[in-house]
Structure 1
């Protein structure tokens, strides 16, 4: 745990010491904060219309409480509207919603951004904006104006806003709790319930379409399908099909594609959904593998990642939404090829899997710098398919008889051609001749044990 997380946990536990909440409430709130970098939310509807789209960029907004000194957000007009939804007349349910909000609301709000106990105070009575039946059970949206308490939180500027909270059933204990709160309309989109398969979006969020995941074609190109949102009583509800929700790929849009499948505006940054179905990236955990086999003129790791990202993007082999949260591999192999080009090999995450790519681009410094800046250069991209996570190595054959790229962290590599003697190689990555017929990997399973030798035929 980092010092910041440690401070957060201690402060939050102090904050809830006087509040009557379930024993595990603090831990459940903290779980979401530990993975904030991957949080993005989306809204969906019951109708499904599928369109393939290609767009770029991702928009984010500045919270009202960070916008500047003495910032005051105008009153939310929804505060004066009657409660909407099919449970709007259920007085017993509304009373339970408001009592839950009174017990837990300030605790959740104090998560942002310093977790001080007295950061916030409510300025008006709470109002149930919507109450209805969802695939995850009864739920409600509560609105309440709030302002920070001056002088108690170092990083919170003076100001006020109206917070919206989602209150519903927590799958872990089956009880009603405050699931999420937000002070930004653009983030009024939540995934909740068992396996986070229920998505709720307010009309005020601006969400109009959702893309649950990236589709990867047989040639490695990546596309998206966008489903439109339908709203009733100011809210869109959607239940995600089993197996379709992949958090790292999940985005929402403030518009629907045009007749050519294009979007003019950027996708929204939705950061408030649950981590219950967060899909870890099944990548090769090779943070120390650096296959520098010549041909590369970009010296730093970030520059090399950008070089590969730009090359794959130009070939249509990255997320069409071009999300800044898109995950790069922590390893790569670069090699000078016999014909003067340079190859870069890496993996990319999409659709719950890792995919292997090789990019053949010019070997001269000027061309590589142009590609690094995002300018187009002549290149060839080879798709190596989904990586086998159990194999412990990656292997891809290059076109034009340029050879094979092999990478295996912690391995000693040697190859041979036909029945000729084995040729030992140094390092954990290698460019093998195109006519190589076998390669061997030797790995030490444990200190003092005999190495495990794997022979791989090449064809």
Structure 2
């Protein structure tokens, strides 16, 4: 996708987009790229991803029977679903001929409406579809079906070369209980495959993960830690008969589901299909505090103008280093407060948002010695008189912000200070109050 095409998909303008050098290798979902940019103005954009299945195979009985290149006309690395063409159908429904026929029919009916149809992947199908696995899950019956296809170069597809590739379809139950395609996938150069999918039309849902021979863990929630970092903790999957099936907790946020090779030291990039956000749907609008205003820079103290020019980038760089590596879409702050605390530390204030999570606010302190501390302020209340109020450590005061407001403070009912616009550093003290004057309305907020 070009930068022009991306801008057309954004609901608002983009100031700058920086794609990492390995983007093409790690960010394709059925030929559509995930863009990990800096400071997107809108988070309604679609995103992402089928990323390479890294790690070596382990010596257990998995679906990944080692195949010779001449078995499918190309290497397993170039045809990551090729191993599913080998052997007989596995799973507890492998002998249910009626169900297997339903799966094949669901696969064949789905091509015309597939999100990959315009890439021509179904134009030259070869041989017959094969059900690689069919089984019972807590959310009903499910299956994986594969078929080979001769793929050719054209404008809407990325290939190492023209030739035979294996397509995969992931099948669950529709609302009427019949076999229904959840999603399909094909290989793109330099990447592996989607290894998991979510099934269950209503009520109970299950995650089904292919056994590719590597140790894999799963997670259903992101953790935001007190040190300002975020992460997923992964529970190892147990594979049986070629898959792992996990019943998902009631009310689980499907956007938060992740798979990762273990140990989960870096980005796993094992994609899950059947999850709207990860497949590229809109995330419900930009949830940041003031996304419509353009880039905003607010002095919180006097004598800090040297911090102004680098404030947004410095804030973004620190929060980027600490964020969950499994995030698909990252929204940086469009505003930054900057100043110096009583001990001479550099103070930055802003927000950061991951995927479809609520936005979170952060203060960043950098001491004279160069050590950096992130102080998380949690999820802000956009409708509050003072949406941003973060208590700083070691008696450095409070960092506060409200766009377009005049902010002044006082201690123990004393006199109000001169107001400062938009953001301010409030010194530590007893019975501290902030007066917020916004569009002629005055409100008093006590800091705790």
Same fold (TM over 0.5): yes
Q: Does structure 2 retain, via aligned residues, the 8 Å contact 1:132–1:140?
A: yes
> SS at the partner of 2:313?
helix
CA RMSD in angstroms, aligned pairs only: 4.1
Deviation at 1:223, TM superposition (A): 5.5
Deviation at 1:442, TM superposition (A): 2.6
Distance 1:125 1:207, change over 3 A: farther
1:303 aligns to 2:304 (yes or no): no
1:99 aligns to 2:105 (yes or no): yes
Distance 1:158 1:223, change over 3 A: closer
Counterpart in 2 of 1:275? 276
1:437 aligns to 2:423 (yes or no): no
Q: Does structure 2 retain, via aligned residues, the 8 Å contact 1:296–1:334?
A: no
Higher relative contact order (CA 8 A, sep 6+): 1
Distance 1:298 1:433, change over 3 A: closer
Tell me the matched-pair count: 373
Counterpart in 2 of 1:403? 397
1:346 aligns to 2:350 (yes or no): yes
Deviation at 1:419, TM superposition (A): 4.3
Report Cα offsets for 1:408-446 as digits up to 9, x if no partner: 1232323334444433434311122334832122333xx
**Which of the numbers 84, 100, 111 marks the counterpart of 2:90?**
84
**Which of the numbers 207, 230, 242 marks the counterpart of 1:199?**
207
Counterpart in 2 of 1:125? 128
Counterpart in 2 of 1:46? none
Report Cα offsets for 1:339-381 as digits up to 9, x if no partner: 3221122345589555443221146xxx8xxxxxxxxx32344
Deviation at 1:221, TM superposition (A): 5.6
Counterpart in 2 of 1:379? 372
Q: Does structure 2 retain, via aligned residues, the 8 Å contact 1:119–1:152?
A: no
**Which of the numbers 286, 293, 296 marks the counterpart of 2:290?**
286
Counterpart in 1 of 2:364? 359
* In 1, Cα distance between equivalents of 2:109 and 2:247: 29
Q: Does structure 2 retain, via aligned residues, the 8 Å contact 1:136–1:198?
A: yes
Deviation at 1:127, TM superposition (A): 0.5
Q: Does structure 2 retain, via aligned residues, the 8 Å contact 1:190–1:200?
A: yes
Please list, as runs of the form range in 1=range in 2, the aligned pairs for 1:445-456 lying within 5 A after superposition. 451-456=440-445
Counterpart in 2 of 1:394? 388
Counterpart in 2 of 1:210? 218
Q: Does structure 2 retain, via aligned residues, the 8 Å contact 1:387–1:394?
A: yes
User: What TM-score comes out, normalization by structure 1 length?
Assistant: 0.67
Counterpart in 2 of 1:160? 164
Q: Does structure 2 retain, via aligned residues, the 8 Å contact 1:343–1:361?
A: yes
Q: Does structure 2 retain, via aligned residues, the 8 Å contact 1:36–1:271?
A: no
> SS at the partner of 1:83?
coil
Report Cα offsets for 1:96-123 as digits up to 9, x if no partner: 1111211113542635xxx256873211
Deviation at 1:6, TM superposition (A): 12
Distance 1:213 1:327, change over 3 A: farther
* In 2, Cα distance between equivalents of 1:219 and 1:266: 20
Report Cα offsets for 1:73-94 as digits up to 9, x if no partner: 4982432311111111111111
Deviation at 1:234, TM superposition (A): 0.6
> SS at the partner of 2:109?
helix
Report Cα offsets for 1:60-83 as digits up to 9, x if no partner: xxxxxxxxxxx9749824323111
Counterpart in 2 of 1:145? 148
Structure 2 residues not aligned, in runs of 5+: 10-29, 35-43, 54-76
Counterpart in 1 of 2:70? none
* In 1, Cα distance between equivalents of 2:146 and 2:174: 20
